[in-house]
Amino acid sequence: MELISWNIDSLNAAVEHKSARGEMTWAVLQEIAAQKPAVFAIQETKAKKTGLTKKQTEIMAELFAGYYQYANISTGRPGYAGTMMLSQKKPVSVEYPTIGAPGEMDLEGRIITLEFDEYFVTTVYTPNSGSELGRLEDRQAWDLAFKEYLQTLDQQKPVIVSGDFNVAHQDIDLKNPKSNHLSAGFTDEERTSFTELLAAGFIDTFRTLNPTVEQVYTWWAQISRTSKQNNSGWRIDYYLASNRLQDKLKDFKVLDTGERKDHAPIKVVFDF
């Protein structure tokens, strides 16, 4: 079973593909559709408060023919955050959970969970702590609440969770750890929260297969002209899984997006 996850940074930009960047995003989306993943998770759809447009829904239905579509829209801040999942198989149930997060985080469409007979597949778009770490305290509260939410799922059946977790866990998960030590996504607090999440019963699928591999990243800054060509990136997108699924884990890949910066899609393969 192959699953793909991607922070698309605007579904509309991909569907409309009227700019050079939009064309690149559209090309990646087409490549993903051609791979026919069992489940495709999307973060940062940036949909309108009213939901996906008719065109967005129809284009995705055409690209992913036969898939079931589910979208969690941000009602707190229009055109912000949001998640989407497409599944070849109809889930037993679908949840758009609120986890008791601070502020408007629970209203930003950040989580979708699909329940299947043998496992849950969920996706998350974790809040960023902000350039001045203004939301670091709220982010820590989010991390705790999300960990507890995953634990409640894990008590029922195994969990596979993907998404943009907005944290590089170890020094080898970003190009410049020393200069970014106090940056959002690489603070001690965020890294400790991620360690605690793994300790709660989950594996980082990439690190499980590649314990010491360096220079594999999933995000490159758009504002840096040379970030992609110099591979000056961060690994902040993950597939985690319940510990008891480790023996079913077979492969993990970061999909090539060419010159396109920002996030790259990630793919995980399980023997189901």
Q: Which residues are part of the catalytic machinery?
A: 125, 164, 263
Residue 181 assigned to a binding site: no
Residue 189 assigned to a binding site: no
Torsion over CA of 198, 189, 173 and 171, rounded to 10 degrees?
Answer: -110
Tokens of 144: 């705790």
Report the DSSP pairing between strands 39-43 and 2-7: parallel
Residue 243 assigned to a binding site: no
Report the DSSP pairing between strands 159-164 and 120-125: parallel
Distances (CA, A) of 14 to 69, 87, 146, 215, 232: 17, 19, 29, 27, 25
Residue 262 assigned to a binding site: yes
Residue 196 assigned to a binding site: no
Length of the chain: 272
Answer whether 158's CB lies under 8 Å from 118's CB: yes
Residue 117 assigned to a binding site: no
The annotated binding site for Mg(2+) is made up of 7, 44, 164, 166, 262-263
